[in-house]
Amino acid sequence: MRMIPVLIRWAQSSWDKTHYYSHLSTAVGHRTNQIGGVMGIIQDLLDELKEKSGRNDIPTLNGLVQNKGTGLPSDGFDYVIKNYSDLSPESKKGEVRKLNFDAHQYDWTWVLKALGLEPARVLDSQTVLKIKTEIHGYGGEGKEHKSIKEYIANHPESIGLKNIKKAQMEYDLISGDRLDIYFECQNKTHVAVEVKPSVSPEGDVLRGIFQCIKYQSIMDASRVLDNDNYDNEVLLVIAGPMSKANKQIADDLGINYLDNFTMK
């Protein structure tokens, strides 16, 4: 039952992001190799609620979780869509996206109440308000922050990048935002890197997650001006550990991160 509020949170806030079965296990603090069976039980609960309430419009939540190998729900999804396993990969993607959009549009408030469940909030409202207030108090660039940026710019392999055509620190976007580090790779992938030093408080790391979302959107939109076809990626690099709450938020929003980064 703990998985249902998490799935509803994903439906409401990040239905179009990638969520793996491992993300769901982490979110509820329980790992199992029978998660496919658990997803089937969740579908049974929703079907039972449909029958009891007379409301046949409850969407499935099962399409929100995907297999890392295929980027799609497993073939056990036939339990939700008849003959799903016989569809082509593109048809599967189309069907799953439609179901996830239906889940996104649905009002799940009454479902949680009917099942006696509370929303799966990562942070309570008071904590969010406190972080918003503190954001404006963060200081300028420190020595560690600058050193990490210089190191990554000169050693892109330290964050898993190779075949670099261009590397630049303090790269300006058309919006006026400035990236800590910017790479262009030989495979026509552009990578933005946001760096947080080990002294960054949890709220500043959270701010970095949302900065990454902004950078991704701006870089994607900038292709209109460049008259070119390339892929964009954004990576958050943290010298300290990532808190459990921030990991859940980053996973929910599809933000790639690397924590406990060290300069070797």
Tell me if 264 is assigned to some domain: no
Q: CB-based burial of residue 68 (10 Å sphere; 0-12 exposed, 13-18 middle, 19+ buried)?
A: exposed
CA-to-CA distance for 221 and 212, rounded, in angstroms? Answer: 14
What proportion of the chain, given as a percentage, has pLDDT over 70?
Answer: 96
> DSSP secondary structure string, 208-236?
HHHHHHHHHHHHHHTHHHHT---EEEEEE
> 102 and 78 in one domain?
yes
- Helix 21-28 to helix 244-253 angle (10° resolution) is 150
> 144 and 207 in one domain?
yes
- Work out the mean pLDDT of the chain and round it to a whole number: 90
- Domain that includes residue 167, residue range: 126-258
Given the structure tokens 């964050």, which residue do they identify?
159
- Whether 249 and 122 have beta carbons less than 8 Å apart is answered as yes
pLDDT band at 241 (very low <50, low <70, confident <90, very high): very high
Supply the CATH number for residue 202's domain. 3.40.1350.10
> 179 and 222 in one domain?
yes
Q: CB-based burial of residue 27 (10 Å sphere; 0-12 exposed, 13-18 middle, 19+ buried)?
A: buried
- Whether 242 and 198 have beta carbons less than 8 Å apart is answered as no
- Structure confidence at residue 138 (pLDDT): 55
- Structure confidence at residue 80 (pLDDT): 87
> 99 and 205 in one domain?
no
* Domain-terminating residue out of 120, 142, 170: 120
The closest alpha carbon to 180, from 217, 207, 201, 211, belongs to: 211
* Domain-terminating residue out of 56, 90, 120: 120
Residue predicted with more confidence, 20 or 190: 190
* Domain-terminating residue out of 93, 120, 147: 120
Please say if the pLDDT value at position 35 is more than 80: no
> 100 and 212 in one domain?
no
- Structure confidence at residue 227 (pLDDT): 74
pLDDT band at 100 (very low <50, low <70, confident <90, very high): very high
What are the tens digits of pLDDT across the range 39-82?
A: 889 999 999 999 999 999 999 999 999 988 888 888 788 888 88
Tell me if 263 is assigned to some domain: no
What are the tens digits of pLDDT across the range 127-178?
A: 877 777 765 555 567 899 999 999 999 999 999 999 999 999 999 999 999 9
Tokens matching residue 206:
């959270």
Tokens matching residue 84:
């799903």
CA-to-CA distance for 154 and 169, rounded, in angstroms? Answer: 10
Say how many domains are in the chain: 2
- Helix 35-53 to helix 21-28 angle (10° resolution) is 80
